[in-house]
Amino acid sequence: MNGQRIPVRWRFFAVLFLLSFLSYLMRQNIHVAGELMMPELQLSELEMGWIFASFIWGYALFQLPGGIAGIRFGPRRTLTAVGILGIVASGLTGLLPGLAFKSTAGVIATLLLIRFILGAAHAPMYPVQAAAIERWFPMGQWALPNAVSSTGLTLGAAAAQPIVAFVMVYWGWRASFYVFIPLGLGLFGLWWWYARDNPGDHPAMGEEELAAIEANREGLTQEVGFDAWKQLIRNRETLLLATSYFSLNYVFYLFFTWFFHYLVTELGFSILETGFLAALPWLTGAFMATVGGLTCDRLCRGLGPRLGCRIPAIAGLIGAGCLLYAGLYSTSPYVAVGLLSLCFASTQFAEGAFWSAQTFVAGPYTAPACGLMNTGGNAAGIVVAPLMPFLAQHIGWVAALSTGSVVALTGALLWLFIRVDRPFQPTTVAR
């Protein structure tokens, strides 16, 4: 390929990987900083749960619109615009509450609005990224880059735990919302400079690599017009994937929202110690996401997409459900952290299978299809963020968190009915 050791598609993906890493640096910080925000701003656990959920409301509600924007305006412009908006919203999270708005009601209203905007800004990231992967990678080689993208987000979340804990202990919780802004501006500038919407438009793309990317796509969903995405909301496989993804993300959001708090209040670790321990699930998840993507692509080549996506998805969901229960009821705090880390790793093992499956189903409509799937996934976060402290008040944190085991096993059962080998075929050609 013109003497290049690294294919252009993987260099393009490297920038997407960095944006995925950044995304979780900038969204995870509040779940660490919240330990100092709550006493200073006089917020209860339940109120903080609604603030956590406001991000997820924005994130979930703008998944499908974000995917639609991705196919209307292209990945390059879409991700640049929402990236800048997200950086501004992150900075305002540290600037406004308690300073510009000092009453408890004002603080809560401000944080609810800012976090909702931040969620909306982050929403297009993964649907648009999945669409870019569909365009830039050969047919059937989509699970690995989607899984490595999950590796990026888990590494970002892992890095955020100790960095934010360190920054807020020595410089206050507000500084934790400013520290990543220069990095964000630099990475989105890199994306604007290097990215192209289509691989054929990139000046470094060679004919041999482009031919490999465009080969063997005849049996996939064909492009018949922009408005054909509207039929996806009735597509059986997309709806089943969205429902099962709710189950996977139910467990994911237990870690995203309340794991740091659980380690401090229930297992008795200090904030600085928790900063490192809370990174362990994300680190193990980073490794297993890549393993899951490799496994899915290999199984798809050997067994076809139906079983190739189904096997790693079911294995990950069953593993997550069982390990979550074992970790929560362990008598040793350190063993609990280890088992819960493996639980989270199981969710990440399944990630690539979901995104690859939706790409097989939707083809050129991957962005809105993945937006719809991710809407289902992030509806779990809307439920988990306020539900956990509510249940904890009545039945305790361990019992509350263990509801994730039942939900994960239900998601595994749903995969028995998902037919990835049935591509979405629009019935009308939109004008």
Residue 283 reports pLDDT greater than 90: no
Tokens of 185: 């501006």
Three-state DSSP at 198 gives coil
Residue 80 reports pLDDT greater than 90: yes
Contacts of 103 (CB under 8 A, 6+ apart): none
pLDDT computed for residue 225 by the predictor: 61
Contacts of 397 (CB under 8 A, 6+ apart): 258, 262, 265, 266, 388
Q: How many C-alpha atoms does 11 have within 13 Å on its Cβ side?
A: 16
% of the chain residues with pLDDT over 90? 45
User: Which of 191, 68, 52, 189 minimizes the C-alpha distance to 124?
Assistant: 68
% of the chain residues with pLDDT over 70? 95
Contact indicator for 30, 38 with CB cutoff of 8 Å: no
Predicted TM-score of the model (pTM) = 0.80
Instruction: Please give the class, per CATH, of domain 8-214+226-417.
Output: mainly alpha
At residue 139, φ and ψ (nearest 5 deg) are: -55, 130
Which residue's structure tokens are 């956590």?
Answer: 52
Residue 429 reports pLDDT greater than 60: no
**64: confidence class by pLDDT, cuts 50, 70, 90:** confident
The pLDDT of 333-343, averaged and rounded, is 90
Tell me the Cα Rg of the chain: 21
Where are the chain's structural domains? 8-214+226-417
pLDDT computed for residue 3 by the predictor: 46
Tokens of 305: 């997409």
User: Which of 351, 348, 324 minimizes the C-alpha distance to 262?
Assistant: 324
pLDDT computed for residue 219 by the predictor: 65
Beta-ladder partners of 101: 97
pLDDT computed for residue 2 by the predictor: 47
Q: What is the pLDDT of residues 106-133, one digit of tens each?
A: 889 999 999 999 999 999 999 999 889 9
Residue 267 reports pLDDT greater than 90: no
Degrees (nearest 5) of the Cα angle 91, 197, 71? 80
The pLDDT of 25-31, averaged and rounded, is 83
User: Which of 345, 340, 341 minimizes the C-alpha distance to 324?
Assistant: 340
Contact indicator for 154, 283 with CB cutoff of 8 Å: yes
Degrees (nearest 5) of the Cα angle 250, 251, 255? 115
Contact indicator for 54, 111 with CB cutoff of 8 Å: yes
Q: What is the largest CA-CA distance in the chain?
A: 64
Degrees (nearest 5) of the Cα angle 109, 114, 119? 125
Contact indicator for 140, 301 with CB cutoff of 8 Å: yes
pLDDT computed for residue 139 by the predictor: 85
The pLDDT of 290-299, averaged and rounded, is 94
Residue 97 reports pLDDT greater than 50: yes
The pLDDT of 21-32, averaged and rounded, is 85
Contact indicator for 373, 242 with CB cutoff of 8 Å: yes
Tell me which of 278 and 54 has the higher pLDDT.
54
pLDDT computed for residue 226 by the predictor: 61
Nearest-angstrom CA–CA distance, 187 and 189: 5
Nearest-angstrom CA–CA distance, 99 and 308: 53
Mean pLDDT (the chain) is 87
Which residue's structure tokens are 């393009």?
Answer: 12
Task: Count CB neighbours of 215 within 10 A.
Answer: 10
Q: Which of 297-301, 411-415, 416-420 has the highest mean pLDDT?
A: 411-415
